[in-house]
Structure formats: C-alpha cells, structure tokens
Structure 1
Amino acid sequence: MIKSGTTDSRSFPQVNIHADLVVTGGGLSGVCCAITAARQGLKVALVQDRPVLGGNASSEVRLWILGATSHMGNNNRWAREGGLVDEILVENTYRNPEGNPVIFDTVLLDKVKREPNITLLLNTSVYAVEKKDAVTIQSLKAFCSQNQKEYTLTAPFFCDASGDGVVGFLSGAAFRMGAESREEFGELFAPSAEYGELLGHTLYFYSKDTGRPVTFTPPEFALTDITKIPRFKTFNAKDFGCKLWWIEYGGRMDTVHDTEDIKWELWKVVYGVWNHIKNSGGFPEAETLTLEWVGAIPGKRESRRFEGDYMLRQQDVIEQRTHADAVAFGGWSVDLHPADGVFSELPGCNQWHSKGIYQIPYRCLYSRNINNLFLGGRIISASHVAFASSRVMATAAYVSQAVGVAAAVCKEQGILPAEIISKGHITALQQRLLRTGQHIPGVQLRDPQDLVHTATIKASSELVLKEFPGQPLLKPLSLSVAQLLPLPQGEIAPFIFHADAAAATTLDVELRISSKPGNHTPDITLAKQTIDIHPGRNCMRLQFNASMAAPGYAFITFMKNPLVQLHHTDKRVTGVLSVFNSVNKAVSNYGKQTPPEDIGMEAFEFWCPQRRPEGQNIAVKYDTGIDLFKAENIRNGINRPTNAPNAWVADWNDPHPQLQLSWDKPQQISQIDLFFDADYDHPMESVLMSHPEKVMPFCVREYRIKDGAGNIIAAKKDNYQTYNRVVLEQPITTDQLTLELEHPSADVPAAVFAVRCYGTVEG
C-alpha cells in the first residue's frame, strides 16, 4: 500500500537518458533514421508523442506509404526506395498483404524493439530544448503522459523528424512556412495567393458492411449543408480510408498551432459526408453499411520547412539536376493542393511529374544555423514547390536513413553535420549508404573492403535472352504497349514477334529510347514501321536500322489496335518489363502530361506497367541475344535495374544455378551480403490496398553457401527479403565460396544483384 503524507509540492520522477543520437518523431522517417543509426553502432533514443509508431502510416491515420513509384503511375521504373524503407515494405507485404493498418503498427514496433541500441519512448512529447550555446543543442526535455515521468535526453547529435519540427523550432533553427515567390528560386510553378501557400490536413474514415440495415444519427456538429463541398456530387459509398485524401482543410490556417481547430472542421465534414451517404436517399447500397472508424488525429501534409545549406527547388525535381553530395532520391510528382481543400472549387490536387527520379543532396538534411541538428522527414530544406514532391512518406523516410548513417560518420570522425562536406567525408558517407542498400542515382559502390572484387567469378550459366520459352498467351492490343528491353551500345538487330488477327489491318510499331540515361520515359523515337497484318497468325520481322548510342533500355512499341492480338508470355525476368500507355487518375496520369507553357513542367507520355497477374511480357524474339545478365554484374556496385539489369540471371534451363567465387590464396570471411530481386518496381502500398503476392516472383527463396571444402556455412529457405546479411558465428578461412540457388519458379529464373564478402563484420 502507498500512503502519502502532506507536502507543499511534488514533482514527477526525473529520468536522464544519454545517447549518441536523439531522434524526435516516430513516424516512418524517425523509425528509419533510428534503426539505421542503431545498426551503424550508435546508441539512439527515439521519442514519439503517440502510442504507436508510423505517424501518417499508422493505424491512427491510415495513409499508405508511397514514394518514387507513385502507384506505378509514372515512368520511374524500379524506383522503390532501398535500404530500410525497402525492408519494411517487403516485410509488411509478406506479413500483411491485406493492408491492415493495425498489423503494420506491429511490423514497425517489431523492427524497433529488435534493435538493442534503441531506447524507445512512446507517448512522450518534447516540450523544451536546452542549449549549450547559441548554435548547439545540449538536451531535450520531454514528458510521458502515461507514466508521468519527465525525461532529459542528452546527446551530441539530434534529428528532428517530428513533422512539425518541434526541436528545430524550439532550438531557434531557421525555418519557413508558406510558399516562396516565383522570383526567389525562379520556380515557375510557385502558387499564387489565390491558390494558397500551404497544404491542409486530412481525416479518413472506414465503413463496414454488417449484412443488415443500419441507421445513422449524426452528431450535432456534423456539417448539414453538404453543398458547401463543391464536389459533393462525386460522393459514393465505396470509397474509404486514404482514397478520401481530398477531405482536406486548413491550408489558410496555422497548420501547427491551429491543428485542433482544423481537426474539428474535418470531423464536421466527415460526419456530414457520412450523414449524406446514409440519409440522403441517394445511396441505397449504403443501407447495410456502418461507420467503423474515423481518424482522431489528422494526417498532416505541410507545416514548417527548415533551412539547410541548400534548398531543394522545382528545377532539381523536374530537370533532375545532379549534386556531388547526393544521398537519396525522390520521384513523386510535384503535388500541390488548393489551400481551401475540400471547400475549394479547384481540383483537389495539381500533380506534375518529372521524366525520372531526382537526387536529394545531403546539404538539405541539416540546419544551417544549429550546428548539431539533423533534419529528417518532410521538414528537410526544400522550397514549397519541391516539398510538394519530397514530402511523401517513402521519400521522407529515405532521406532520414541518410541522416542515420551521417550521424555515425559524425560521431566516428568527431565532426559536425556540415563538416561531412567541408572536411571531405561525403564520398565516405555515400559509400556507406550504398552498402546498406541505399540507391543513389548515378553513384556506384566502390568498396575496397569487399573481397569479391579480387575474386574470380564463375557461374553455372548466364542467361542470353533470345526468346521467352513456353506457350504464348494471346492478348488483344486494346492499349498501346511496349516491351522494355536492355540493349548494349551499337547496332540494333532485328526483332521477331507474332500477332493474330481476324481481319486484315495494319500495325504501327516504333522503336523508342529515353533522352536521359537512367530514365524510362520513351521520349525519343529512333524508327517507325507500319506493318500489314493479314487474317490469322502473323510472324513479323522488325528491322529498325537504328543503333544505341549508349547502353540502355529500348521500347519496342506497338500502337493500339484492338483488331490485333499480340503474343505474350507468362515468363518474367529480372530487369525486363512490358509497359502500357494507360491512365492512372490516382496520380493525375491521363496517358500524357500536357502542362501549361508557363509553369516549368515538361510534356511527355506515360508508359507504365500493369500489376500482376497482368503485365505479361511480349513474346518477342531477338536472335542476336541480349547478353547483359552476366555474373560480373554482382560486383558492379548497382543493386537494381537502371540503364541495364545490373544482375546475374541464370539460364532458364540451368537445373542447379550457382555462383563460384575463388581467390588465389585463402581469405578470412566473417560476413556475406546478398542482394536479391524483391521487385523494386512494385509500390507495396502499406495499407488499404491488398496485394495478391506475399513474395515477389523474382526473389530467390532458397540458397546455400559452401566453402572450398564443400561444407555448408549458411543456408536459408523461404527467403523473401532483398538484403540478406549473413554473419558467420566464427570466421572461416577459404579460397572458394559457392552460392547455390533454386529458381524462384518455373516461370522466373534465379537472379542476384550483388554478392559481397568481408573479413570483418561491417555495420
């Protein structure tokens, strides 16, 4: 029994925590920063003011995670973010293909709790900053509402991934709210005052079919005049969750300090919309529906943006400018919303895409005037226009992974964040990021510690793609479709394809490439042909009389003709895709982007894959053979398709695919890193959408690693992850390693992006 005496005052228990890095904000960005830093050897305190992790991705808000892949609705091929973002999305797809937001909560909690270097504080809000001097943070003060404890969090480095920038704000870091003028950065898409300068908040709701009639009595505060919402005629009873992204409000208010007022207005709208659906008589299909869940905290888009040594801007996104200090990439559209949100007469969003992914420089990831403060998530140094692209969760988390590794470099070198550049450590940071699976466009891993660079590599087979084996699948050419194929530099040999038709017709075929290396927007046409198609089966030879000026992807493009059935195949290969000139309204893709001339955006067509089980390859034949799937690719320093497949792929008919690494003299080996193909082209939306596959069809499920004497030193079954890090219990000494693989299926040959070997355990 506890019995208190009398006293004039009491105080809450005080807890002091010392760490190498304090991360404020437990959204996806804070989680990815904290785990990445912890795996680099830092002691990390992760402070989250909510009871669960995930922020906008959590069960409290329920927004799906998206980034450069953009629902597969743009031309960014193989663009899902790497490193920990990839690991989490692949894990969630395996555990939670139904997209249950509660299960996703557990995926994140599990990832964090597995890291012994992380101290996790949930329900804990930072409310004060103590400074060592005018430009240096010494500690943070935080309070947990559940255990009534006060925390002092002390560290040499801090990362603000809180979304609203609570640490940056309290520490005096330079920040902005609202939109820059066109003149400041020369951004032609900078919005007018009429359009508004901030994106608003959103609340979602979920409905459920009970199988019996359900009545609904709205609360007193519900919006009664639904015509105040200009798009009220588009309401339906089928949409729920983050498909209701357009229920947005607050862009003309203070999106930090007015959040509670904004939330109440959104509640009025949500309950008013549901009342309209249930009680207007216009939705008989809603008779058995009940309101299962309404968000209690809004999903935030924009508030403070902090200033670093560089501010990302529209031209970086659209022109895909290069930066010597690039550490991450983005690829979501420049996606601005009218400030009046759901009450605006304007479209709910205004999205303009670039032709490919763009680099994000390290200079955007730390404060320009608080010298030990890193910036993570959506508050990085970016203009309002560039922020419209970089703000989405997968991109925000991706840059935060870079912060996690940068903090480790700073600790080890005894330097401050800005000194990674001024003292010449940016290359080391980039290389260290690449080792974790981070993809940085245009930057290759050159790791002198990797023993594979001195090995002789032999493969049991190497795919030379001449044709797709097996029986063809006939599909009508109801959309224009292109087969995306990697080709070497030089003359392009003839292609063979087959088509069936019930009547005589013609077929237009074009050979296209991208104007920029590494892009997958087919904006240059090298050659065209019009082919006569006769009734029945046609075997056609395409001789384009064209050359590839450099290695890259070519688009063998068949223009729409519903009278024609093309031969397709169920076979799939790493680094090979078919793409379609189709529409995806969810990301403002109407087949072609045609912007006004005065907003600094580019016009081009969209050619996007279809989700499996659709999206089969076209059964083209290339007698010369595409010989770009060689074993040497496993050490080329690129772990995904870019302008080439960058993978070793075994031959279809190889019964026992294997790679053999041998050295002139024995090597001590402690760690082996393997990178498989978990399909970087798949967005893997974390919630709401269901995915028919738990495991990507290209991913090697089973492998064994043997030493020179034939002993199995490591083995795995039921693999589904991209990155497999094999740390041996005891180092071995051998002059040979053999990696034995099983093909993922009869339709997909085994493929490996990278194999790395280290004499010591690498972080």
Structure 2
Amino acid sequence: MITSGTTGDRAFPAVNIHADLVITGGGLSGVCGAITAARQGLKVVLVQDRPVLGGNSSSEVRLWILGATSHMGNNNRWAREGGLVNEILVENTFRNPESNPVIFDMILLDKVTQEPNITLLLNTAVYAVEKKDEATIGALQAFCSQNQTTYTLTAPLFCDASGDGVVGFLAGAAFRMGAESSEEFGEKFAPSAAYGELLGHSLYFYSKDTSRPVKFIPPAFALKDITAIPRFKSFNAADFGCKLWWIEYGGRLDTVHDTEKIKWELWKVVYGVWNYIKNSGNFPEAETLTLEWVGMIPGKRESRRFEGDYMMVQQDIIEQRTHPDAVAFGGWSVDLHPADGVFSEKPGCNQWHSKGIYQIPYRSLYSRNIHNLFLGGRIISASHVAFASTRVMATAAYATQATAVAAAICKERQLLPAAVFNEGLVPLLQKRLQQTGQHIPGLALQDTDDLVQTANIAASSELVFTGFPGVTFVQPLQLSTAQLLPLPKGKIGPMVFHADAGEDTTLEVELRVTSRTGNHTPDITLEKQTIALHPGRNCVQLTFSATMDQVGYVFIIFQKNPLVQLHRTDKRVTGILSVFNSINRAVSNYGKQTPPEDIGMEAFEFWCPQRRPEGHNIDLKYENGIRLFQAENIRNGTDRPVSAPNAWVADWTDPAPQLTLRWDAPVTISHIDLFFDADYDHPMESVLMLHPETVMPFCVRNYRIKDATGAVLAEVTGNYHTHNHIPLTTPVTTDQLVLEVEHPSDKVPAAVFAVRCYNR
C-alpha cells in the first residue's frame, strides 16, 4: 500500500545524468550523431521527445531518407552518404527490403541500444536550458511524460539535432527564420526582399486493399470543398505515404508555435482528399480500399536555422565551392516549395540541381555565439536558399556525424567546437571522419597510422578491362544511352560495339567528359560521329582522336534511335556504369535542366542510371585494356568511385582472388578495417520503395584473413556491409597478411576499396 504526504510534499522524481555529449533530437541526425560519438569513446545522452527514433523517417511520419543520390534522378554518381547513414540504409535494405516503416523503427532502436556508451531517453522533452555564463550551456532540463520524471542533463558539450532548435533557441543562439534577400549574400534565387514565408509541413496517409467494398464516412472537420486544392484533378487513388509530399501547409505561419494548428489543417485536407477519392465516384478503383494509417504528427521541413561561423549560400551548392574545413557533402537539389503549399496554384516544388555534390564546411556546424553548442540536422548554418538543399535527412545526418567526431576531439583536447577550426585541427577531424567511411569530396585520406601504407601489395590478379565476358542480348535504343568508362591519362584507345538494325539507318555517337574533376555531368563534347548501319548485325569500331588530360570518366553516348538495338550484357563491375538521358519527374528531371537566366542555376542534361534489374551495361570492348583496377588502389585514400574506380578488382577468371600485404619487418596489428562495394549509387530509400536486392551485387560476401603462418585471424560469411571493422582479440605480430575473397557471383568480379591495419 502506498500512502501520500501532503500536496506540498509531492514532486516528480528527479534524475541527474552527466555525459560527455548531450544530443537533443532522436531523428536520423541525432541517431547517427549519437552512435558515431559513442564509437569514438564519448558517453552520450540522446534525448528524444517521441516514443520512437527516426523523426521524419520514423513510422510516425514515414518519409523516405534521401540525400545526394536523389532517387537516382541527378548526375551525382556513387553519392550515397557514408558512415552511419550508409550503415543504417544498408542494414535496412538487407533486413527490410519491403520498406516497412515499423521495421525501420526497430532497426534504429536496435542500433542505438547496442552502443553501451549511449543513454537513451525516449518520450523526454527538453524544456529549459541552464547557462554557466552568457555563451555557455551548463545543463538541460527535460521531462518524460511516461515515467513522470524530470532530468537534469549536464555535459561540457551539447548538440542540437531537434529540428526546431529547441536547445539553441532557449540558450540564446543566433538564428534566422524565413528567406534572406538576394542582396545579402548575392543569391540570385533568393527574393529581392527578405520575407517570412517558409517551407510547410506535410502529413501522409496509407491505404490498403481489403478485396471487398469499404465505405468511408468522413469526419465533420474534413475539407468539404476539394476544389480548393488546385491539383485535385490529378489525384491518384494508388498514391500513399510520402508520395503525397505535396499535402503541405503552414508556410505562411510560425512553423514552430503554430504546428498544432498546421496539423489540424493537414488533417482536414487528408480526410477531405480521402473522402473525395472514396465518395466522388471518380475513382471506382478505390471501392475496396480502406484508410489504413494517417500521420499523427506532421513532417516538418523548415523552421529555425542557426548561425555558425560560416553560413552556406546558394553559390556553395551550385558552384560547388571548396572549403578548407570540408567535413561532409550534400547533393539534393535546391528544393523550394510555395508558401501556400497544397492550396497554391504553383507547382508543389521548384527543384534546381547542381552538376555534382558540394562540400559542407565544419564552420557551419556549431553556434557562433553559444560556445559549447554543435548544430546538427537541418538547423545548420545555411541561408534559406542553401537550406533548401541541406535540409534533407541523409545530408543532415551526414553533417551531424562530423559534429560527433569533432566532439570527441574537443573532449580529448579540452576544447570548444570553434577551436577545432581555429587551432588547426580540421585535418585531424577530416582524417578521423574518413577512417569511419565518411567521404569528403576532393579529399583523399592521408593516414600515416595505417600500416598498409608501408606494405608491399600483391594480388592474385588485377582486372584489365577489355570488355564484358559471356553472351550478350539486345535492347532497342529507345532512350539515349551512355556507357560511363574510367580511362587513364593519354590517348583514348579504339572501342568496338555491336548494334542490330532492322533497316538502313544511322547512329549518332558522342564522346563526352565533364568540365569539373569529380563530377559526372557530361557537359563537354569532345567528338561526334555519325555511323551508317545496315540491316542485321553491325560490328563497329570507334576511333577517337581526343586524349585524356588526367584520369577520369568518359561518356560514350549513343543517341536514341528505335531502329537500332545495342548489344548489352548482364555483367557488372565496380566503377563501371550505364546511364540514360531519361526523365524522373519525382526530382524535376525532364532530361535537361533549363532554368531562367536570372536565378543563378546552370543548364545541363541529366544522364542517370536505371534501377536494377535494368540499367545493363553496353557490351563495349576497349581493345587497349583499362588498367585502373590495381591492388594499389586499396591505399589511395578514396573508398568509392569518383574520377576512377578506386578499387582493386580481381580478374573474372581468378578462381581464388586474394591480396597479399608484406612488410620488410614484422608489424603489430590490433585491428583491421575493410571497405567493400555496397553500391554507393543505389539510394536505398528507407520506406515505400521496394529494392531489387537485399545485398548489393558488388559486395564481397565471404572472406578470410590469414597471417604469415597461415593462421586465420578472421573469417566472415554472408557479409553485406560496406565497412567491416575487425578488432583482433589479441594483437598479432606478423610480416604478412593475406585477404582471401570470393567473387560475389559469376556476373560480378570481387572488388575491395580499402584495407587498413592499425596498432592502437
């Protein structure tokens, strides 16, 4: 029996927790930041005001995770984010190929709870900040509604990944809401005068086919006049989930304090739309559909943006400006929406892409006036226009991973966030990020701690690409198609392809390259040829006079001609890809971007892959052989294709591919890192989309590592991850390591991006 004291004696239990880093916000950004920091040795408190992790990607909102890959609808090749973002998406694709949002919740929770350095507080909202002084946070006050407990969270460092910036706001951090004028930063896409309009919130619903008639009686608050939604004529009964991103509202309101009001308006729209679909008579196919789920909280796009020591602007994205403190990258379009959202006569979004991915500087990831506050997620230091790209979840989480590693450096050196830049520690930050698989465009890992850098490397074989082996098949040239090939510096060798024609016709072939190293936009045409084809099979040799100034990718473009069938192959190789000049309306890709002249965007064509099982390579022969798949690539510091494959690829016919590392004197190894090809080109959307495979076809599944005596140090079967971290129970001293791998299949030769060995 429990008896109570007087009313004045009652109080909620109070718990004090001290950590190295407190992260507020358990969306994808907070999750990736917390796990990254925990693995760097920090004690982390992760505070989430919802019952599940994931934020907009959770089952409460159900938005797919996207970033630079942009539904494979732009020219950003091999651009999926690395580190924890990649690890989570690869894990979800393996365990949850049906894209069930509830399973995704489970995967995030599983990842967080496996880290002993993380204290997770769910259903816990931060409501107050205690300051040590004007520029320093001392503690956060939080309350859990489920256990009626108050928490005091203390730490030397804090990271706000809450989306709305609750900690930054309460701490007095400088922030902005609404668009800046074009004059402030010289952004041509910004308005002539600053205004307060924002991107709105969205709320989704799911429908389900019950195979029997289902009636729907709408609530009294449902929107009655569906014609108030200009796009009502294009409603589709088959759409559900985040394909309904256009159900958006709130851009003219305060997207923080008016959120509940916005939610109610969105509920009115959702139930009004469903009533129209079910009861207007215009959708007979909806007779057996029922409303299975409606979001309870809206997905937020924009609210506060906080000021760091550098504010990203439109030019950073479109011009792909470089920064000495680059720690992450983005590649989503500049994606602004009309303030009236679903009630606007304008298109639901206005997306303008850059020609490639862009750098995100460290100086944008901490507050300029609250000295121990990192900025995570979508609240990083960016103008309204730049925010239109940096705001998407994979990009936001990728940047937050950088704050987590910076926090570890701050702890180790007793520093505050800005000091990492001001005291010249950015190279250390970049190095430690790259060691975890964080790709930073334009920067190769320089790692003197890696013992592989001093090893002699030999391989059982190295692919010299002369063409794809095996039988071919034909496909009509309904779309302009290109083979993307890496070529060495020097003269471009002759190539051979085969084409079938039903009658006499011509085929236009172009040789293109990109104007910027590291991009994959074919905006420079080196040569054009018109080839006469006769009925039947044609064996054609292409000879070009052009030369390569440096190692890079060329596009061998075959302009569309439905009378022609090109010979294709079902074989695939790391770093080799076919692309198509096609349309992807989901990301405003209509084959060519043609912006108005006065908005600061560039015109160019889109050449994008197709999702497997489509997207077959052209059966193109390169007679001189492409020798860019050497074993030396495993220590070149770039762990994905960029301007070259950057991988060791074994020969197709090698029955037992292996790498041998030999040192002139014995070395002591405590752990090994391997990086395999889990296909950085596949976007791996977390919900709604079905994926063609659970394991990427390029990924080495089975391998073993042996020392000089032949003792097996590690043996793995069924691998599907990019980064394999292998701690050795007992450090081994040896002058040789052998990595034995198996080909993933008879269609894909084995490939390894990196092998690294450490004694620490």
Common fold by TM > 0.5 = yes
Give the equivalent residue in structure 2 for 1:732. Answer: 732
Give the equivalent residue in structure 1 for 2:110. Answer: 110
Residue 278 of structure 1 aligns to a residue whose secondary structure is helix
Structure 1 residue 5 displacement after superposition: 3.6
Structure 1 residue 7 displacement after superposition: 3.9
Partner deviation per Cα, 1:165-208 (whole Å, 9 max, x = no partner): 00000000000000000000000001467997300000000000
Give the equivalent residue in structure 2 for 1:526. Answer: 526
**Residues 188 and 600 in structure 1, CA contact (< 8 A), matched pair in contact too:** yes
Supply the AA of the counterpart residue of 1:594.
Answer: T
CA distance in 2, matches of 1:281, 1:360: 50
**Residues 181 and 194 in structure 2, CA contact (< 8 A), matched pair in contact too:** no
Give the equivalent residue in structure 1 for 2:683. Answer: 683
Supply the AA of the counterpart residue of 1:562.
Answer: P
Give the equivalent residue in structure 2 for 1:373. Answer: 373
1:71 matched to 2:71 = yes
1:25 matched to 2:25 = yes
**Residues 669 and 759 in structure 1, CA contact (< 8 A), matched pair in contact too:** yes
Structure 1 residue 692 displacement after superposition: 2.2
**Residues 179 and 194 in structure 2, CA contact (< 8 A), matched pair in contact too:** no
Partner deviation per Cα, 1:22-71 (whole Å, 9 max, x = no partner): 00000000000000000000000000000000000000000000000000
**Residues 480 and 581 in structure 2, CA contact (< 8 A), matched pair in contact too:** yes
Give the equivalent residue in structure 1 for 2:322. Answer: 322
**Residues 503 and 535 in structure 1, CA contact (< 8 A), matched pair in contact too:** yes
CA distance in 1, matches of 2:196, 2:367: 26
Supply the AA of the counterpart residue of 1:631.
Answer: A
**Residues 69 and 79 in structure 2, CA contact (< 8 A), matched pair in contact too:** yes
Supply the AA of the counterpart residue of 1:339.
Answer: A
Give the equivalent residue in structure 2 for 1:440. Answer: 440
Supply the AA of the counterpart residue of 1:107.
Answer: I
Residue 254 of structure 2 aligns to a residue whose secondary structure is coil
Give the equivalent residue in structure 1 for 2:364. Answer: 364
1:47 matched to 2:47 = yes
**Residues 226 and 272 in structure 2, CA contact (< 8 A), matched pair in contact too:** yes
Residue 8 of structure 1 aligns to a residue whose secondary structure is helix
1:230 matched to 2:225 = no
CA distance in 2, matches of 1:2, 1:654: 74
**Residues 180 and 193 in structure 2, CA contact (< 8 A), matched pair in contact too:** no
Give the equivalent residue in structure 1 for 2:419. Answer: 419
**Residues 675 and 754 in structure 1, CA contact (< 8 A), matched pair in contact too:** yes
Partner deviation per Cα, 1:612-668 (whole Å, 9 max, x = no partner): 000000000011000000000000000000000000000000000000001111111
Give the equivalent residue in structure 2 for 1:132. Answer: 132
**Residues 183 and 192 in structure 2, CA contact (< 8 A), matched pair in contact too:** no
Partner deviation per Cα, 1:241-297 (whole Å, 9 max, x = no partner): 000000000000000000000000000000000000000000000000000000000
Give the equivalent residue in structure 1 for 2:60. Answer: 60
Give the equivalent residue in structure 1 for 2:647. Answer: 647
1:158 matched to 2:158 = yes
Residue 671 of structure 1 aligns to a residue whose secondary structure is strand
CA distance in 1, matches of 2:488, 2:400: 36
CA distance in 2, matches of 1:28, 1:255: 20
CA distance in 1, matches of 2:472, 2:13: 71
CA RMSD, Structure 1 to Structure 2 (Å): 0.8
How many equivalent residue pairs? Answer: 760
Residue 508 of structure 1 aligns to a residue whose secondary structure is strand
**Residues 196 and 338 in structure 1, CA contact (< 8 A), matched pair in contact too:** no
Structure 1 residue 8 displacement after superposition: 2.6
**Residues 196 and 340 in structure 1, CA contact (< 8 A), matched pair in contact too:** no
Alpha-carbon distance change, 242 to 229 in structure 1, aligned in 2, over 3 angstroms: same
1:488 matched to 2:492 = no
**Residues 195 and 338 in structure 1, CA contact (< 8 A), matched pair in contact too:** no
Give the equivalent residue in structure 1 for 2:253. Answer: 253
CA distance in 2, matches of 1:460, 1:587: 44
TM-score by length of 2: 0.99
Partner deviation per Cα, 1:367-417 (whole Å, 9 max, x = no partner): 000000000000000000000000000000000000000000011111110
**Residues 706 and 714 in structure 2, CA contact (< 8 A), matched pair in contact too:** yes
Partner deviation per Cα, 1:62-95 (whole Å, 9 max, x = no partner): 0000000000000000000000100000000000
Give the equivalent residue in structure 2 for 1:343. Answer: 343
Residue 633 of structure 1 aligns to a residue whose secondary structure is helix
CA distance in 1, matches of 2:177, 2:9: 41
Supply the AA of the counterpart residue of 2:586.
Answer: A
Give the equivalent residue in structure 1 for 2:514. Answer: 514
Alpha-carbon distance change, 330 to 146 in structure 1, aligned in 2, over 3 angstroms: same
Give the equivalent residue in structure 2 for 1:303. Answer: 303
Alpha-carbon distance change, 129 to 328 in structure 1, aligned in 2, over 3 angstroms: same
Q: Percent identity?
A: 78
Alpha-carbon distance change, 673 to 194 in structure 1, aligned in 2, over 3 angstroms: closer
Give the equivalent residue in structure 2 for 1:475. Answer: 475
Give the equivalent residue in structure 2 for 1:2. Answer: 2
Partner deviation per Cα, 1:394-443 (whole Å, 9 max, x = no partner): 00000000000000001111111001111110110000100000000011
CA distance in 1, matches of 2:571, 2:131: 61
Residue 417 of structure 2 aligns to a residue whose secondary structure is coil
Structure 1 residue 19 displacement after superposition: 0.2
Residue 621 of structure 2 aligns to a residue whose secondary structure is coil
Alignment of 1:704-719 (within 5 A): 704-719=704-719
Alpha-carbon distance change, 242 to 249 in structure 1, aligned in 2, over 3 angstroms: same
Alignment of 1:538-687 (within 5 A): 538-687=538-687
**Residues 507 and 559 in structure 1, CA contact (< 8 A), matched pair in contact too:** yes
**Residues 551 and 643 in structure 1, CA contact (< 8 A), matched pair in contact too:** yes
CA distance in 2, matches of 1:233, 1:652: 54
Give the equivalent residue in structure 1 for 2:16. Answer: 16
TM-score by length of 1: 0.99
Residue 725 of structure 1 aligns to a residue whose secondary structure is strand
CA distance in 1, matches of 2:304, 2:5: 47
Residue 433 of structure 2 aligns to a residue whose secondary structure is helix
Which runs of no fewer than 5 residues in structure 1 stay unpaired?
none
Supply the AA of the counterpart residue of 1:229.
Answer: I
**Residues 195 and 339 in structure 1, CA contact (< 8 A), matched pair in contact too:** no
**Residues 13 and 148 in structure 1, CA contact (< 8 A), matched pair in contact too:** yes
Supply the AA of the counterpart residue of 1:303.
Answer: S
CA distance in 1, matches of 2:502, 2:196: 55
CA distance in 2, matches of 1:8, 1:694: 59
Give the equivalent residue in structure 1 for 2:502. Answer: 502
Supply the AA of the counterpart residue of 2:650.
Answer: A
Residue 231 of structure 1 aligns to a residue whose secondary structure is helix
Supply the AA of the counterpart residue of 2:61.
Answer: V
Give the equivalent residue in structure 1 for 2:280. Answer: 280
**Residues 42 and 117 in structure 1, CA contact (< 8 A), matched pair in contact too:** yes
Structure 1 residue 511 displacement after superposition: 0.2
Residue 366 of structure 1 aligns to a residue whose secondary structure is coil
CA distance in 2, matches of 1:758, 1:35: 22
CA distance in 2, matches of 1:202, 1:650: 48
Residue 701 of structure 2 aligns to a residue whose secondary structure is coil
CA distance in 1, matches of 2:524, 2:103: 45
CA distance in 2, matches of 1:439, 1:522: 23
**Residues 181 and 193 in structure 2, CA contact (< 8 A), matched pair in contact too:** no
Partner deviation per Cα, 1:316-353 (whole Å, 9 max, x = no partner): 00000000000000000000000000000000000000
Residue 298 of structure 1 aligns to a residue whose secondary structure is coil
Supply the AA of the counterpart residue of 2:484.
Answer: L
CA distance in 2, matches of 1:236, 1:648: 47
CA distance in 2, matches of 1:8, 1:383: 49
CA distance in 1, matches of 2:238, 2:190: 35
**Residues 83 and 436 in structure 1, CA contact (< 8 A), matched pair in contact too:** yes
CA distance in 1, matches of 2:503, 2:127: 74
Give the equivalent residue in structure 2 for 1:456. Answer: 456
CA distance in 2, matches of 1:673, 1:567: 39
1:397 matched to 2:397 = yes
CA distance in 2, matches of 1:160, 1:193: 30
Structure 1 residue 9 displacement after superposition: 3.9
Supply the AA of the counterpart residue of 1:684.
Answer: M
Residue 418 of structure 1 aligns to a residue whose secondary structure is helix
